[in-house]
Amino acid sequence: MMSDRWEPTVFKSRVDAVLHRFVAEEAEQLAAIDPALGPVAEQVEAAVAEGKRLRAAFCYWGWRAAGQPDSDALVRAAASMELVHAAAVVHDDLIDDSPLRHGRPTAHVALRGAVRRSPHPVASARSLAMLVGDLLMSLAGQLFTTSGLPAAYLGRARPLWSLLARELIAGECLEILRTGADPDTAASLKVIRYKTAKYTVEQPLLIGGALAGAGERLRAGYSAYGLPLGEAFQLRDDLLGLFGDPDRTGKDNADDVRGHRPTALLAETWSLAGAEERERLRALLGRRGLDADGLDAVREVMRRLKAPGRIEAMITARVEEALDALHELDTPAHAAAALTGLAHSAAIRLS
C-alpha cells in the first residue's frame, strides 16, 4: 500500500510486480503448448521487462484524484495500460522497422533466430512479432477485467477501452499515411495527439476516473490536462529521437530520418527552410542507408534554423497549459502534487 505522498519508485515496483508475474504465467502457458513457441513467449515477457510505467501512474491518479483510496486491485487495472503500451510498441517497431528498443533488439529482429530455417526468415520473424503484439493487447483486456475491482466499476470504464483502441489505431494509420509526404506541423500534431497523447495520458486518466465514478467536470479537467501533456511527451520523444543520447534512449538516432516520419520537429524545420535547405533535406530524408554524416547534416540544418528551440517552446507551452488546467480542478492536495510531478516527468526527461 502507498501513502498519500507520491513515491514513483514504490509505485513502479508495484506495477512491475503485477506485470512480470502476470505475463510470466501467460508466457509459460503459451510455451507449454509446444516447445517451438519458447522464443515467442520470451518476447512476450521481454515486451514488459522495462518501462517508466507512466500510463499506469496516470490511471492510478485518475482514480485517486476522484477521492478513492489506494487499492491493489486498482494497481492491477492500471498495469493493464502498460500492456496496451507494450502491444503498441511491438507493432510500432514493426511498422517502422526499428532495430532497437531499450538498447536491445526489437521483437521482429530478435525472433529471426527462431525462424532461421524458414525460406523467408525476415518476413516470418515480422509475422511472429505482429502476433506477439496482438497477444499483448489481448492480455491487457484480460488483466483489466480480472483486476479484482467490482464489476460495476469495470462496466463504467469498458466503453473507454473501445475509444482507446480506435484512437490509437487511427494515430498509427495517420502516421503511415503521412510518412513521406511534405512535412506539415498541423498534420504532425494530429498524429501525435491520436498516436501517443491520448493513450499515454488522457485515456489512462479517464479510465481511472471512470473506475472511480468521477463526475463530468473532473473528467473534462482530465482531458484538459492530459491532451496537452501527452503532446508534450511525444514532442520530447521527437527531440530525443534525433538529438538524445542513444545510450539513454536505447534507440537508433537515425530512425525518424531514415523513415521520413511525420514528426513535428521535421515539420517545423521544413516550415523554416528555404529552397536550398529543402533540397538538402529531400536528398537525405527516407534514405535507408543514411550514415552518420548524413544524420549530422540533417541535425545541422535543424540547428541552424533553430527548429529544436521551436519544439522546446511547444513543449513548455503545453506543460503550462496542462498545469493551468490541473490547478482549476478541485482535487485532493496529494493528487494535485502527484499529477504535477508526473507532468514534469513526462515532459522533462533524457530517455
Domain annotation covers residue 58: yes
Backbone angles phi, psi at 162, to 5 degrees: -65, -40
DSSP bridge partners of 104:
101
Q: Which domain holds residue 66?
A: 8-347
At 115, which CATH number? 1.10.600.10
2 domain-assigned: no
Record the pTM: 0.95
CA distance 161 to 153: 14
Q: Name the residue type at position 196.
A: T
Apex CA 59: angle with CA 191 and CA 340, to 5°?
A: 85
Is residue 3 in some structural domain? no
Q: What is the C-alpha separation between 146 and 235, in angstroms, rounded? A: 35
Cell 533540397, residue?
A: 279
> Which tens digit of pLDDT belongs to each residue from 91-139?
999 998 999 898 899 999 999 999 999 999 999 999 999 999 999 999 9
With 80 as the cut, is the pLDDT of residue 1 above it?
no
With respect to residue 112, please indicate whether it lies within any of the assigned structural domains: yes
> 264-272 and 185-192 helices cross at what angle (nearest 10)?
170
* Residue 249 domain flag: yes
- Per the structure, the count of domains in the chain is 1
In a domain, 305, yes or no: yes
Residues 6+ apart with CB under 8 A from 41: 27, 28, 30, 31
Q: Is residue 1 part of a domain?
A: no
pLDDT at 2 (0 to 100): 63
The pLDDT tens digits for 181-237 are 889 999 999 999 999 999 999 999 999 999 999 999 999 999 999 999 999 999 999
Neighbours of 247 (CB within 10 A): 8
The per-residue pLDDT for range 64-99, each reduced to its tens digit, is 999 999 999 999 999 999 999 999 999 999 998 999
Residue 105 phi, psi (nearest 5): -55, 140
The answer as to whether 203 is a domain residue is yes
Amino acid letter, 212: A
